[in-house]
Structure 1
Amino acid sequence: MLPKINQTTYLQLMPVQDPDSATSLRSRVADMDDKSIWLEIPLDEKSRRYHRPQTGEQFRMFYFTQDGVKHLFTTTVTGIKKDTVTLFSVRKPNLDEIEREQRRSYLRVEAQLELAVRIGDKVRFTAITDDVGGGGLSFRTDRKWPLVPGASISCWLLLTYKNGNIGHAKFDGEVVRVLPVEPDKHLVMMRFQDIQDAEQQRIIRYCFERQLDKHKG
């Protein structure tokens, strides 16, 4: 299944030695023709800087269907053009070149949501998310909190839906990575460890609603 126009996609520069730790570049499908997929200039999710693709560069490109299944293929940058925004093209794969990853993965969307965090019995604070997905999220918070990779945290996430309804999701998670950002903040990336299906579905619903709303805009 090919990605759709306006769909969020992710790129990893080839060769990819370790797909789980390789830098991901986030982009979006702007257009498509018989031979090419046209993408927006991608954002490096670690450095928060834009990557300028060069003709001939090879990427591992992946994206998610609505049921959370990851699809991926290898492709090459074939051109660059300046429209209203700068776009670049990659070779459109044949359907038999697209791999379908069996384990469930989840779409992530940029979102600034209120998150209550608890570490152990004594440390409690609130933070604002940077992005949210069905498998985890990232958030920004003051550097004073004792957050290190491998730490277990309990969270309560406030979800605001387009129709005005408010939902929430409770879960326990594991800190995966902590990066310094701004003069006194950390960007904390975490994955869900213990979350009820109903709570997870609320988050997934929010993500797809947010993505659809963004594309309409």
Structure 2
Amino acid sequence: MTRLYPKINDYLYIQVASSDAAESEIEYKSRIAEIEEEAFLIEIPMQEGNGRLKKLFMGDELSVYFITEGGVKNFFNTHVVGFREDVIRMVKVRKPDVDSVFKIQRRSFFRVSAELELAVKDHNGSRFLVRTDDIGGGGTSFLSDTKVKLDLGGRLLCWLLVPYRNGSSEHVYFEGEIVRIKELENGRNLVMLKFAAISDTERQKIIRYCFERQFDFRNR
């Protein structure tokens, strides 16, 4: 059975929720020093590249992932619940429920229902604005009028507007390939796209959004 929690000495990769969009994008790295029944004790997170330490405060919300066998990223949300002064200063973060830890493998990105604004440009240079029906790390689908001519296997240049819980938003650029077109009873088409060309950075923005949405659904 694949383990669901990180263990002592595993590294955690952390983003801190912030109303400052640039700050919330910074990724910090920390190590688990101890594990309690309801919390992880971690070292002060450090920004990779420049070694800057991140001071955390009680209640800070964190988006975290750790990596298991085969490079699988396991995501969870948590918050700071305390501190401990030992040989080193440690931050205590709440241990997530097992069922709120999400695995994200390259081959099987989960999808969430989402009505996001998507600007599309086809190979003829025609542009149109649609709303997505769902979104995931591997692709998206959107609703379109039947008068918009689209072909299976066609490539579309897309700009997606992605809003986050902290109030910030990002534009995500990708090239999508149409893998299915389904006619709906309301006279519209559901167009399903897979990401044919997308950078890892852009994909991470979408995965972060999906993770936040999934987290919100679970907490309703």
TM-score scaled by length of structure 1: 0.53
- Stretches of structure 1 lacking an aligned partner (at least 5 in a row): 5-65, 69-99
Given candidates 162, 173, 183, the residue that maps to 1:170 is 173
User: Which amino acid letter does the alignment assign opposite residue 154 of structure 2?
Assistant: A
Structure-1 residue corresponding to 2:149 = 146
Q: What amino acid sits opposite 2:182 in the alignment?
A: L
1:135 is matched with 138
SS at match of 2:151: coil
Q: 3-state SS of the aligned residue for 1:203?
A: helix
CA RMSD across the alignment: 2.7
Supply the distance in 1 between the matched residues of 2:187 and 2:125 (Cα, whole angstroms). 22
- For residues 112 and 103 of structure 1, what CA distance do their matches in structure 2 show? 23
Secondary structure at the counterpart of residue 172 of structure 2 = strand
The amino acid across from 1:161 in the alignment is Y
Paired AA for residue 134 in structure 1: G
**Separation in 1 of the partners of 2:157 and 2:185?**
25
Which residue of 1 is the match for residue 184 of structure 2? 181
Aligned residues: percent identity? 49
Query: Out of 67, 73, 83, which is 1:67 matched to?
Result: 73
- Give per-residue Cα distances to partners, 1:45-94, cap 9 Å, x unaligned: xxxxxxxxxxxxxxxxxxxxx727xxxxxxxxxxxxxxxxxxxxxxxxxx
Q: What is the DSSP-based 3-state SS (H/G/I as helix, E as strand, rest coil) of the residue aligned with 2:73?
A: coil
**For the structure 1 residues 103 and 162, does the alpha-carbon distance in structure 2 shift closer, same or farther, using more than 3 Å as the test?**
closer
Shift of residue 197 of structure 1? 1.1
Question: Which of the residues 91, 108, 112 maps onto 1:105?
Answer: 108
The TM-score normalised by the length of structure 2 is 0.52
Q: Alpha carbons of 1:182 and 1:126: their partners in 2 closer, same or farther (altered >3 Å)?
A: farther
Letter of the 1:151 counterpart: G
CA–CA separation in structure 2 for the residues paired with 1:142 and 1:182: 12
Counterpart-to-counterpart distance in 1, 2:122 and 2:189:
16
Q: 193, 207, 210: which is aligned to 1:207?
A: 210
- Give the count of matched residue pairs: 126
CA deviation after TM superposition for structure 1 residue 163, in Å: 1.0
206, 216, 219: which one aligns with 1:216: 219
State how far apart, in whole Å, the 2-side matches of 1:183 and 1:105 are: 30
SS for the counterpart of 1:208 is helix
Shift of residue 151, structure 1, vs aligned partner: 0.6
Q: d(CA) in 2 for partners of 1:105 and 1:131? A: 15
Q: Report the Cα offset of residue 129 of structure 1.
A: 0.5
Q: CA–CA distance in 1 between the matches of 2:201 and 2:188?
A: 32
